[in-house]
Amino acid sequence: MFGFLKKKLSGALKAFTKKVEEETQEPQPETQPDEQHLEHERPIKPAPTAPPQAQESPRKKKRPKPEKTPPHKKQAKQARKQARQTEPKQEQHSIVLDKEQEQRKKPTLEASQTTTATPRPPPPTPKKPAPYEQPPKPQETTSEPSQQTKSEQELQEEKGTSFFGRLKEAFTHTTLSPEKFENIFWDLELALLENNVAVEVIEKIKNDLKDELTNKKHVKRNLEQAIKQRLKQSISELFDVPTFQLENKIKQKKPFIITFIGVNGSGKTTNMAKLAHRLQQQGFSVVMAAADTFRAAAIQQLEEHATKLGIKLIKHEYGSDPAAVAYDAIAHARSKKIDVVLIDTAGRLHSNDNLMNELQKLIRVNKPDLTIFVAEATTGNDAVEQARLFNERVGIDAIILAKTDVDEKGGAAISISYITKKPILFIGTGQGYNDLQPFTPETILHSLEL
């Protein structure tokens, strides 16, 4: 069941999770001194005050991705680049420095000028040889490259593990901007659309995930779990509609009258027979009404089921009034103290006014205790839309979702309760009498491996 949706959803979910991981921002640590350290571990951003030439530096082309490159390798890379690039950049920046700045930076600038003449000299100013792990911050490189390197190095040495602790903190707690979320949800949205999930339902899932990922911080290594968990919860909530145990209801009224309605070929007759069998097994007595007097062979079809199950069938001629057939079956149940009356009706589209008026009459005259809409899972959005329209036109109380065994998409199953606000009572899982299962949201979540 739902094999296609499961596959698509799982693929799209993986891609979505990966993108979320790639796009998540590391929040800024709160204290200032460590801020300087963390800057080294993040991708280098161009200094806001730097002249355009400085921003065009090759750094831009090779901007490292924080998630992919381990910090020590990144540092080494940046340091190597830095060694090649520091001197020319400093020369450019020196042009825009005012006199006072020039005065203050003189030792550094002189050092830079000296090094410009020689392509790769040893670092001129630091007391200790600067380890290659110490790439300076871009804007700070402009003014005080050697001092900055020294200060960071010292701080790093002083703080040791606490520095790495903060670094880890910054890289594991992630948040996502709403704009980025919108972009990366698209694949998941497409997977749901392809599987006939109703647009309103996709919107709900989207909002739930957005809320989860843009308003809460997550530990990055648990991100996949968090996304799956929220998706699971979101899908469960789609079934938060008032529901009931059919057997309990039946015990409260005698005869308990159930009408089966729906579009042509959705599985009304077959699933009514399956339910009759189930109720018999639970000890209820049953009578059936052949109120589909419209389709050729509909009465014979039901008669075969009645014979096989040993159930009394009330029938009239083809073309007779379906409301009268149902009425007779109820009268029979009353006189024989039968627990349940099951009324089969003809398939119809909501747009067929004559047949819809006939159905309204049957319901008005016989006042069933329960009107069950039998939806064919394989028809996806059409089944959901028909359920909505039947509910508007005649009112439905619950749903049987037939043919879930041959439905690879699952969109109708996911969407139908959310759209109609009516519970799915059973799902049809085959053509045999035992192929009717009580529905629980877990059935769906399990099928989707969520």
Ligand X SMILES: Nc1nc2c(ncn2[C@@H]2O[C@H](COP(=O)(O)OP(=O)(O)OP(=O)(O)O)[C@@H](O)[C@H]2O)c(=O)[nH]1
| Residues of the shown chain interacting with Mg ion in the complex, contacts defined by CB under 5 A | 268-269
**Minimum distance of ligand X from residue 169's CB (angstroms):** 53
Nearer to ligand X, 417 or 429 (CB): 429
**Minimum distance of ligand X from residue 376's CB (angstroms):** 8
- One of 269, 293, 381, 417 touching ligand X (CB under 6 A): 269
Contact partner at residue 428 from Mg ion, ligand X, none, CB < 5 to 8 Å by partner kind: ligand X
In single-letter form, the type of residue at position 374 comes to V
**Minimum distance of Mg ion from residue 437's CB (angstroms):** 21
Scanning 201-209, 220-228, 265-273, 325-333 for contacts with ligand X by CB under 6 A, the matching segment is: 265-273
Q: Is 265 in the site for ligand X (CB under 6 A)?
A: yes
- One of 267, 322, 410, 411 touching ligand X (CB under 6 A): 267
Nearer to ligand X, 74 or 350 (CB): 350
Nearer to ligand X, 26 or 435 (CB): 435
Give the CA radius of gyration of the chain: 35
Q: Is 437 in the site for ligand X (CB under 6 A)?
A: no
Q: Is 402 in the site for ligand X (CB under 6 A)?
A: yes
- One of 53, 357, 431, 440 touching ligand X (CB under 6 A): 431
Q: Is 298 in the site for ligand X (CB under 6 A)?
A: yes
**Minimum distance of ligand X from residue 348's CB (angstroms):** 8
Scanning 25-33, 108-116, 349-357, 422-430 for contacts with ligand X by CB under 6 A, the matching segment is: 422-430
Distances (CA, A) of 40 to 72, 156, 163: 10, 11, 12
Structure tokens at 57: 């530096």
- One of 153, 208, 430, 447 touching ligand X (CB under 6 A): 430
Contact partner at residue 202 from Mg ion, ligand X, none, CB < 5 to 8 Å by partner kind: none
Scanning 78-86, 98-106, 180-188, 398-406 for contacts with ligand X by CB under 6 A, the matching segment is: 398-406
Q: Is 266 in the site for ligand X (CB under 6 A)?
A: yes
- One of 25, 264, 351, 357 touching ligand X (CB under 6 A): 264
Q: Is 28 in the site for ligand X (CB under 6 A)?
A: no
**Minimum distance of Mg ion from residue 268's CB (angstroms):** 5
**Minimum distance of Mg ion from residue 330's CB (angstroms):** 20
Structure tokens at 371: 């009107």
Scanning 69-77, 212-220, 277-285, 399-407 for contacts with ligand X by CB under 6 A, the matching segment is: 399-407
Nearer to ligand X, 33 or 265 (CB): 265
Query: CA 52, CA 26: separation in Å to the nearest integer?
Result: 27
Q: Is 410 in the site for ligand X (CB under 6 A)?
A: no
In contact, 342 and 258? CB cutoff 8 Å: yes
Q: Is 212 in the site for ligand X (CB under 6 A)?
A: no
- One of 208, 369, 382, 405 touching ligand X (CB under 6 A): 405
Stretch 308-367 residues interacting with ligand X (CB under 6 A): 347
Scanning 147-155, 240-248, 291-299, 322-330 for contacts with ligand X by CB under 6 A, the matching segment is: 291-299
Name the one residue in this structure whose structure tokens are 């709403």: 178
Secondary structure of the chain as H, E, C letters:
CCHHHHHHHHHHHHHHHHHHHHHCECCCCCCHHHHHHHHHHCCCCCCCCCCHHHHCCCCCCCCCCCCCCCHHHHHHHHHHHHHHHHHHHHHHHHHHCCHHHHHHHHHHHHHHHHHHHCCCCCCCCCCCCCCCCCCCCHHHHHHCHHHHHHHHHHHHHHHCHHHHHHHHHHHHEEECCHHHHHHHHHHHHHHHHHCCCCHHHHHHHHHHHHHHHHHCCEEHHHHHHHHHHHHHHHHHHCCCCCCCCHHHHHHHCCCEEEEEECCCCCCHHHHHHHHHHHHHHCCCCEEEEEECCCCCCHHHHHHHHHHHHCCEEECCCCCCCHHHHHHHHHHHHHHHCCCEEEEEECCCCCCCHHHHHHHHHHHHHHCCCEEEEEEEHHHCHHHHHHHHHHHHHCCCCEEEEECHHHCCCCHHHHHHHHHHCCCEEEEECCCCCCCEEECCHHHHHHHCCC
Scanning 171-179, 191-199, 229-237, 266-274 for contacts with ligand X by CB under 6 A, the matching segment is: 266-274
Contact partner at residue 265 from ligand X, Mg ion, none, CB < 5 to 8 Å by partner kind: ligand X
372 phi/psi in degrees, rounded to 5: -105, 125
Query: CA 153, CA 83: separation in Å to the nearest integer?
Result: 16
Interacting residue ranges for ligand X, rule: CB under 6 A: 262, 264-271, 292, 295, 298, 347, 402-403, 405-406, 428-431, 435
